[in-house]
A and B are shown apart, each in its own frame.
Chain A
Amino acid sequence: QVQLQQSGPGLVKPSQTLSLTCAISGDSVSSNSVAWNWLRQSPSRGLEWLGRTYYRSKWFYDYAVSVKGRITINPDTSKNQFSLQLNSVTPEDTAVYYCARVSPAFAYWGQGTLVTVSS
């Protein structure tokens, strides 16, 4: 059974970097048939896809235009996990953040992390 366990701080100051990690069990971050995603959910934005990484002989990355330039998703094969970094955060980045596996739809999700951007 695939399980995704999120970790990371729930409070980030404006202009700083939001960092979250998603540890995978029951699957491999290097699997060549799935993709690993970050999404967020807020009352103002609803469910918003942020980006993904996947391995098909090499690593690929796709990011949402709304966060492009500020976002990095990194796989870590040694720890079988992937991470999210979102730079220069503002209060508008306050949301519940989820990691999820797509194959083809989002069947597996992390538990969610409420991240508040506030000084």
Chain B
Amino acid sequence: DIVMTQSPDSLAVSLGDRATINCKSSRSLLDNSNNKDHLAWYLQKPGQPPKLLIYWASTRESGVPDRFSGSGSGTDFTLTISSLQAEDVAVYYCHQYDSVPYTFGQGTKLEI
């Protein structure tokens, strides 16, 4: 199974500041057939299912604000929130969809 490890486990950021969350996979997620990384980012608020933010490591899902961006390739990935808003308080997860079993990081709790 591909193990996904996020850092840090929790993060406190001031409103308007940048937040950075890292994710490392135990195996490369790069698909050489299309040069895309099978990596997604989600946020989850209490009582709700996860919400997709980013897929293919850097493609923003429709309707996601452009303050959210994803980067990285291979085994190392980053989610950046350029200017933190109050509504961004949530738990963030990375997820690999390169192969089953699909796996997720342990989550990063983002607080103000």
User: In this assembly, does A46 line the interface, its C-beta being within 8 Å of a C-beta of chain B?
Assistant: yes
B32 CB to nearest A CB, Å = 16
B40 CB to nearest A CB, Å = 4
Number of A-B contacts (CB under 8 A): 48
In the complex, the answer to whether B42 meets A49 with C-beta atoms within 8 Å is no
Quick one: closest B residue to A52, CB to CB? B100
In the complex, the answer to whether A47 meets B50 with C-beta atoms within 8 Å is yes
In the complex, the answer to whether A49 meets B52 with C-beta atoms within 8 Å is no
In the complex, the answer to whether A49 meets B101 with C-beta atoms within 8 Å is yes
In the complex, the answer to whether B50 meets A109 with C-beta atoms within 8 Å is yes
In the complex, the answer to whether B49 meets A112 with C-beta atoms within 8 Å is yes
User: In this assembly, does A111 line the interface, its C-beta being within 8 Å of a C-beta of chain B?
Assistant: yes
Residues of A within 8 A of B102 (CB): 37, 49, 102
Residue from A104, A105, A111 within 8 A of B49 (CB atoms) = A111
In the complex, the answer to whether B107 meets A46 with C-beta atoms within 8 Å is yes
Residues of A within 8 A of B24 (CB): none
In the complex, the answer to whether A110 meets B49 with C-beta atoms within 8 Å is yes
A57 CB to nearest B CB, Å = 19
Residues of A within 8 A of B40 (CB): 105-106
Q: A47-B50, A98-B49 are in contact. Are A105 and B104 (CB under 8 A)?
A: no
User: In this assembly, does B80 line the interface, its C-beta being within 8 Å of a C-beta of chain A?
Assistant: no
Q: How far is the CA of A48 from the CA of B49 in the complex (A)?
A: 13
Residues of A within 8 A of B100 (CB): 49, 52, 62, 64
B86 CB to nearest A CB, Å = 23
Residues of A within 8 A of B52 (CB): 105-107
A51 CB to nearest B CB, Å = 9
A113 CB to nearest B CB, Å = 11
In the complex, the answer to whether B42 meets A106 with C-beta atoms within 8 Å is yes
Q: How far is the CA of A95 from the CA of B42 in the complex (A)?
A: 19
User: In this assembly, does B38 line the interface, its C-beta being within 8 Å of a C-beta of chain A?
Assistant: yes
- Besides the contacts A104-B55, A107-B55, what 5 more A-B pairs have beta carbons closer than 8 Å? A46-B106, A100-B49, A104-B56, A106-B50, A112-B48
Chain A positions near chain B (C-beta within 8 angstroms): 37, 46-49, 52, 62, 64-65, 98, 100, 102, 104-107, 109-112
